[in-house]
Structure 1
Amino acid sequence: MSHLDRLSSLLSNFEVKAECLLSSEGANLFIYGDQTCLDKLVLVVDPNALVPIESEPLVCIHVDIGDNKNPLHQAMPEYVEIDLKHPNEFGGKSNVQGIAHLIVTEASMSRCGARFALDRLCDLLVVNILRHQIAEGKIETGIFAGLAHPKLRHVVVAIHDNPHYPWKIEDFVEIAAMSRSQFMAVFNKVLGYSPITYVRLWRMTAARLAILNGKRVKEVANKYGYASGDAFCRAFVSTYGVSPTQMSRQH
């Protein structure tokens, strides 16, 4: 049986941006220690989380993983603290120590492509954190609870892979190999939404990134299964409170 990739489609719809800062003000990624021996890494996802930030971190970075409408943001804990002296305790065989060393190197040296490299390294850091979230299986509700569920994960991945498809409940029941009543009850409990509502939310999430990346409204509407640009715009306004054009201008 081939391995079910539960993250690639999800992550392909989001962009992680990173900016190295000179002080802790405005930063949410902190790496402590020195160049030869890193101590720990702290990533603060929720700006309201009460996280004690120690003095003189080696590196301070602002990592942007989107707002609270972003499922990536919703799936992350309020903050993550990783012991870099014993990194294998974080999610088993973790590459996080190596990633942290590369982040420190890029942040401390003025080299061509440093901003691009930091973005990609922070991408890798987030992937490792999300893998850990799935492996731990401690999230009871939401997208990562669905991705961790032995049957629902196949449905969630199918939605992520094919947001344009005209999904019906019967399709999901067949994929999950569950009865209709059992599937509906379990999906609502684990994901926190009905299956069709989740499909609509995922379409809007992916469409929002496409709009912010400069895609035309008609192109996005067609890609995500809307009958017309007008139907897409109505759904977009209902979700985000602004039209696709207004959102594009605001960013």
Structure 2
Amino acid sequence: MLLFPHATPHAFTVPAGATADLACATLDFAGGEAHPLVGMLPEHVIVPLAEVPGLGSTLELLATEASSPLCGHRHVIDKLFEIVLIKLIRHLLEHPEAGRHPHTSGLLSGLAQPQLARALTAMHESPEHPWTLAELAEIAHLSRSAFSLRFRELVGVPPHEYLIGWRITVAQQLLLHDHAVIDVATAVGYSGTSFSRLFAQRVGQSPRAWAQTRAHAGA
């Protein structure tokens, strides 16, 4: 399986006389390259199907659905590809050498480190919580200084900066599902005014304008 997370230009060639079947899909994350999941992935991933349990059979189902446009096949394909992506990310977490250079920083590096993974999971599961450095360090079973240093070394940004980025990502997902701005702000731990100001600083548009732009783009 080949994955190009960053829209890297690429081309496939097949030797003369040979044939190949390709099943292609496009990933679209709210926030684009700024999405933590996109940032955690390398320029490209090449994984033999046999190395990831269940990946080959899932791709076979996906190919079958793609070649037989029955009722609901679009939704089935989307869900199957989500499963493929989850399996691939699990593989990269368990075998980080397969997807990154040893000195690469990012979410993948942080999740591969058990102590930081606990803190990252806490932030992901409760973005609305007013996390402090002391709380996150305690979850990671590290001192505040050790946690802050290790987090920055492996993830690439300070904990607070990462939390803000994650909150923006969660907010974008909620906005895409037509949640009111005030409800989105509460869901990610801000008041309406402070959230709108922060969102505009990070994204370049107000929450409402961003949601409208995305809606028009997908229309």
TM-score, scaled to structure 2:
0.86
Cα 1:125–1:171, aligned 2, differ >3 Å: closer, same or farther? same
Q: How many angstroms does 1:201 deviate by? A: 1.0
Are residue 194 (structure 1) and residue 154 (structure 2) matched?
no
Structure 1 residues 184 and 115: alpha-carbon distance in aligned structure 2, compared to 1, 3 A threshold:
same
Q: Secondary structure at the match of 1:111?
A: coil
Q: Deviations over 1:158-201 (max 9, x none)?
A: 00011000111110121111122211111111111111111111
SS of structure 2 residue aligned to 1:208: helix
Mean alpha-carbon deviation: is it higher for 64-73 or for 115-124?
64-73
Instruction: Give the superposition deviation at 1:247.
Output: 1.0
Which amino acid is 1:62 matched to?
A
- Tell me, yes or no, if structure 1 residue 221 matches structure 2 residue 185: yes
**What residue in structure 2 maps to residue 101 of structure 1?**
60
Which has a greater percent of helix?
2
Change (3 A) 1:113 1:189: same
C-alpha displacement at 1:57, in angstroms? 4.2
Q: Percent identity?
A: 30
Match of 2:217 in 1: none
Q: Which runs of structure 2 are paired with 1:93-242 in the superposition (5 Å)?
A: 94-138=53-97, 139=100, 140-226=104-190, 228-242=191-205
Letter in 2 for 1:196: H
The superposition leaves residues 74-108 of structure 1 with CA deviations (integer Å, 9 ceiling, x where unpaired) of 22222233334xx1x24xxx110011100110000
The letter of the residue matching 1:48 is T
CA distance in 2, matches of 1:168, 1:221: 19
The alignment status of 1:82 with 2:28, answered yes or no, reads no
Structure 2 letter corresponding to 1:160 = H
1:64 is the counterpart of 2:24? no
The CA distance in 1 between the partners of 2:148 and 2:24, in whole Å, is 42
| Aligned amino acid, residue 81 of structure 1 | I
- SS of 2:8 mapped into structure 1: coil
Q: Which residue of 2 aligns with 1:18?
A: none
Deviations along 1:194-239, one digit per CA (max 9) or x if unpaired, are: 111111111111001111121110000111110x211111010111
Q: CA deviation at 1:144?
A: 1.3
Runs of 4+ deviating beyond 6 Å:
none
- Structure-2 separation of matches of 1:180 and 1:83: 41
Q: Whose strand proportion is higher, 1 or 2?
A: 1
8 Å contact kept, 2:2–2:47? yes
Cα shift at 1:52: 4.0
User: Number of residues paired by the alignment?
Assistant: 203
What CA deviation, in whole Å up to 9, does each residue of 1:130-166 have, x standing for no partner?
Answer: 1111111334411111111121111000000110001
* Closer/same/farther in 2, CA of residues 181 and 82 from structure 1, 3 Å limit: closer
How big is the alpha-carbon RMSD for the aligned residues of Structure 1 and Structure 2?
1.6
SS at match of 2:157: coil
Under a length normalisation based on structure 1, what TM-score does the superposition of the two structures give? 0.76
Structure 2 counterpart SS, 1:64: coil
Contact 2:6/2:33 (CA < 8 Å) preserved in 1? no
Aligned to 1:36: none
Gapped runs of 5+ residues in structure 1? 1-40
